[in-house]
Structure 1
């Protein structure tokens, strides 16, 4: 299932390597980040 909410929702799915690079970059910039993940999204997100 593909959710269409959030910062990266307009992009194609990121690979694990691309996700790692995004996280590493945010950390290197001392940015506060929040990562949300679920395998069971709320029905309104279908």
Structure 2
């Protein structure tokens, strides 16, 4: 499971999640083109 998680999140993110002394929230950035495609009403 660890290798799959690392593949999906990235090695730096995986390292921070496992070694941070406090809780960590990971947010994946959605590229702007995908954001606009999923919400066609928001386009001017």
Q: TM-score, normalised by structure 1?
A: 0.29
**Structure with the bigger percentage of helix:** 2
The structure with higher relative contact order (CA 8 Å, sep 6+) is 1
